[in-house]
Amino acid sequence: MTPVLNVSGYERVKHDMVRGEGCYLYDAAGRSYLDLEAGVWCAGLGHNHPRVNRALRRQMDQGVAHIGYRYTTAVEAAAAAALLGALNLPDGRCVFLGSGSEAVEFSLQAARCATRRPLQLTLTDTYLAAFGLAGRRRCEDWNCLDWRDCIGCRRDDCSTGCHRLAPIPWDKVGVFVFEPGSSSGRVRFPPKPLVQTLARAVQDRGGVVAVDEVTTGLGRTGAWFGFEHYGLAPDLVAAGKGLGNGYPVSAVAMTADMGETLLARGFHYAQSHQNDPMGCAVAMAVIHAVEEEKLVDRCRRTGAHFLRGLEAIRARHTMVRDVRGRGLMLAVELAPGSATDVYRALLGRGILAGCKPEADLLRFYPPLILTEKEIDRFLDNLDGVLDDIESGTGG
Ligand SMILES: Cc1ncc(COP(=O)(O)O)c(C=O)c1O
């Protein structure tokens, strides 16, 4: 019996992974696995990235992994400047935290303090955090807009007068929290006119916009940040996952105005791991690597190649109901009840895909360094697995 408590809700299917390198994990027998999930969508630069390793070692050699609230090191301001530079918020402010959930919680508490309003607005099919205000989603705090009917809406004059938006009590909404692509949901990308209308309605009435970039940030969607596809000017941006490439660090960046308001109102948020030098060193290394390796452009190109390949597979297989993606954030919707079989068959072929059986979905959030050759190898394997299952010889 293992002494480790696994309450993630996911069955553990491999127990002997020993090494990682780039897009691959290796088991004890030396077999390679193409990691199309980058862990839990974190290792955006790939496993064992030299620049990140160097940053970790350098910070360790200095002996300051963690430091108290009253002291700082130079790396903290440098990392904040790097993140604010990537966000084009040169006068903004930034705080580094431990996890994506924490960054979202911080953003919500900050928005409450800044607006003094009780309600948060978001879209259904959005995952924001494991705990805190967003983890609980109590209906007295939240207005969750069911936007399923907006998916097929062809009107380009989306407005608050629409019967779907009219019931929102705008003057009570302090913050619209937007996830630019539902990662833990069905991997859907909300329509731009809808998002712009909501953001404008909230900001025009004195509320703020917080964007949850925990999965969509740092190049994942083929833009530095997912909100760029929507032409938004957010007040707060929560980043995580890819920011640490597997090291647990997250951040909240905000406009200069938001920073001033929080300071003026005495906003208070303190926990042990805030602006830790180790996390800041890693975050800075990741941001510089994304820049220098030109991963944003690369992700846009390889993502388009991946999506074209998935579309060709959809045309060949009746089992495939839909394919969608933006950058290297992609999904395949399968015939009901078949996702786990496809996932297991891919695992048998040395490929780690994401699987959400309750939505009949396979998900792909690979490292951004994935090559077209690796994509083609995966597509051949997916094609083969679907052939086997459809012909009754596999699964
Ligand atoms: C969009 C989004 N926000 C926030 C989180 C929470 O991040 P973490 O698991 O690092 O707390 C997740 C986790 O999957 C996420 O997908």
Separation of alpha carbons 261 and 259, rounded Å:
6
Ligand 1 midpoint to CA 215 (Å): 7
Ligand 1 midpoint to CA 129 (Å): 5
Ligand 1 midpoint to CA 103 (Å): 9
Question: What are the start-end ranges of the H helices in the chain?
Answer: 38-41, 50-62, 74-86, 100-115, 132-136, 192-204, 256-264, 277-292, 295-316, 339-348, 372-390
List the structure tokens of 325.
């993606």
Residues in a beta bridge with 322: 333
Ligand 1 probe mutation, 183, 186, 356, most atoms within 8 A of CB: 183
List the structure tokens of 350.
């040395």
Least-confidence region, from 98-107, 146-155, 265-274 = 146-155
- Residue 175: how many CB atoms within 10 A of its CB? 24
Asked whether 219 and 295 are in contact (CB, 8 A), the reply is yes
Least-confidence region, from 109-113, 160-164, 309-313 = 160-164
Q: Calculate mean pLDDT across residues 63-85.
A: 96
In this predicted structure, the answer to whether residue 395 has a pLDDT above a threshold of 70 is no
pLDDT tens sequence across 94-106: 999 999 999 999 9
Angle (nearest 5°) at CA 303 between 298 and 304: 105
In this predicted structure, the answer to whether residue 156 has a pLDDT above a threshold of 90 is no
218 HSE (CA, 13 A, CB side): 32
In this predicted structure, the answer to whether residue 167 has a pLDDT above a threshold of 80 is yes
179 CA: nearest ligand 1 atom: 1
- Residue 382 has a pLDDT of 98
Residues lining ligand 1, judged by CB closer than 6 Å? 99-101, 104, 127-130, 179, 183-184, 212, 214-215, 240-241
Q: Whose CA is nearest to atom 7 of ligand 1?
A: 100
- Mapped onto helix, strand or coil, the DSSP state of residue 309 is helix
- Residue 282 has a pLDDT of 98
- Mapped onto helix, strand or coil, the DSSP state of residue 161 is coil
Separation of alpha carbons 120 and 134, rounded Å:
9
Ligand 1 midpoint to CA 117 (Å): 24
99 CA: nearest ligand 1 atom: 10
- pLDDT band at residue 183 using 50, 70 and 90 as cut-offs: confident
- pLDDT band at residue 154 using 50, 70 and 90 as cut-offs: confident
Q: Whose CA is nearest to atom 10 of ligand 1?
A: 100
Handedness of CA 358, 352, 324, 312 (dihedral sign): negative
Please report, for residues 42, 275, 291, 304, 353, the alpha-carbon distance to residue 39 in angstroms, rounded to integers and kept in the order given: 6, 24, 22, 22, 10
Angle of the 295-316 helix axis to the 277-292 helix axis, nearest 10: 70
List the structure tokens of 166.
């009219």
- Residue 245 has a pLDDT of 98
- DSSP 8-state secondary structure symbol assigned to residue 377: H
Element (H, E) at 209: strand 208-212
Q: Calculate mean pLDDT across residues 374-387.
A: 98
- Residue 85 has a pLDDT of 98
pLDDT tens sequence across 305-360: 999 999 999 999 999 999 999 999 999 999 999 999 999 999 999 999 999 999 99
126 CA: nearest ligand 1 atom: 1
Element (H, E) at 142: strand 142-145
Least-confidence region, from 185-189, 218-222, 386-390 = 185-189
